[in-house]
Amino acid sequence: MGIAWSRRRSDFVVQGRALHFVIRVGDREVTFKFFREVLGMKVLRHEEFQEGCKATCNGPYDGKWSKTMVGYGAEENHFAVELTYNYGVAGYRLGNDFLGITIQSKEIVEKVKQAGWPLTETPEGIVIESPGGYKFYVVDKDEPPKDPVQKVSLAVSDLQRAINYWTKLLGMKIYDRDDTNMVAQLCFADDQCKVELKDIGVAIDHASGFGRNAFSCPKKQLSAIESKMRKQKQKVLMALVSLDTPGKVPVEVVILADPDGHEICLVGDSNFRILSAIDPNGDKLVNDAIAADDSTQWFVQNRQHKPLA
């Protein structure tokens, strides 16, 4: 990790690392079947929490929740998907903000076809949806040397404004831009999962199922990033805060939002590398948590429906 300094040494852009995208889960059991058996991802770690996250990692909910990281390899060098589950919420409404995650792998294409999951075949690849409705695009090409997860696609209402934010303020580079189709791909480095921004020409609706992009950066720069965003009158959703995970090292984070309200989590890199080590008991922890979850039965016994967000 490093800092790229401009001629004005008070200005810098963070050279960060793409970490994961957050997805909200209503039905844990069928969701994990999808990610493990259809997409072929592995459980990297699983954590249970008794109260809401200070940085709203689980959304605007105060109760018991869980976080599970899934992916194709260690978080240190693979992009992951973070699945957050709130025990008192049955599901979420999706808006027009999240367009999909693209995975590139011949092997995964075959796994998807064999799984019997509903899919649509297009010239660009296979399109499938997770149980909560989040789209995944699986492309039939040789797997890249590092990670099959290639990009996270987000809708924006003004492409140039979005590019200005992600490049000039966050310091990402443009890797591809198509002004005819109003789309651009950006990232911090060549070998990382890209952020694809697509102008859909209307206001962005995040609904209740909105996600969050996470990146790491040097811990010592977090407060400076927050100050920079405030100076530029950009949204800071959560000031610098230390987050605790039971039995693990704390991490410091700052939560931002771009002009369209897409949430961006910046986390101190060194402690996150320790926190995100693969847990060999991850699968068992998830299975045990699902087996012990009686939240749905509680609502049935009390003659209530488990609410949608």
160: amino acid identity, one letter: Q
Q: ∠ CA(135), CA(85), CA(99), 5° rounding?
A: 20
Any domain includes 44: yes
Residue 12 neighbours by CB distance under 10 Å: 17
Q: What is the chain's mean pLDDT, rounded?
A: 91
pLDDT in tens, 155-209: 999 999 999 999 999 999 999 999 999 999 999 998 899 999 999 999 999 999 9
Residue 226's CATH number? 3.10.180.10
Any domain includes 4: no
Structure tokens at 110: 């075959």
Any domain includes 308: no
pLDDT in tens, 280-299: 999 999 999 999 998 888 77
Any domain includes 278: yes
Any domain includes 6: no
Domain that holds residue 147: 11-301
Residue 231 neighbours by CB distance under 10 Å: 8
Mean pLDDT, residues 225-232: 95
Task: Tell me whether strands 125-129 and 120-122 are parallel, antiparallel or unpaired.
Answer: antiparallel
Task: Tell me whether strands 263-268 and 194-199 are parallel, antiparallel or unpaired.
Answer: unpaired
Any domain includes 177: yes
Task: Tell me whether strands 98-104 and 135-139 are parallel, antiparallel or unpaired.
Answer: parallel
Count of all residues that appear for the chain in the document: 309
**How does 277-289 read in b/e, with b if 16+ C-beta sit within 10 Å?**
ebbeebbebbeeb
CA dihedral of 127, 17, 92, 34, whole degrees rounded to 10: 50
**pLDDT tops 60 at residue 272:** yes
Mean pLDDT, residues 57-66: 88
The number of folded domains in the chain is 1
Residue 9 makes CB contacts below 8 A (sequence gap 6+) with none
Tell me how far apart the alpha carbons of residues 287 and 68 are, in angstroms, rounded to a whole number: 11
Mean pLDDT, residues 62-91: 95
Any domain includes 136: yes
Q: Is the dihedral of CA 164, 165, 170, 172 positive or negative?
A: negative
Q: ∠ CA(3), CA(75), CA(82), 5° rounding?
A: 105
End-to-end CA distance of the chain: 38
Any domain includes 1: no
Structure tokens at 271: 């402690």
At 11, the pLDDT band (50, 70, 90 cuts) reads low
**pLDDT tops 50 at residue 1:** no
**pLDDT tops 60 at residue 70:** yes
**pLDDT tops 80 at residue 6:** no
- Are 111 and 117 within 8 A, CB to CB? no
Per-residue model confidence (pLDDT) at position 297 = 81
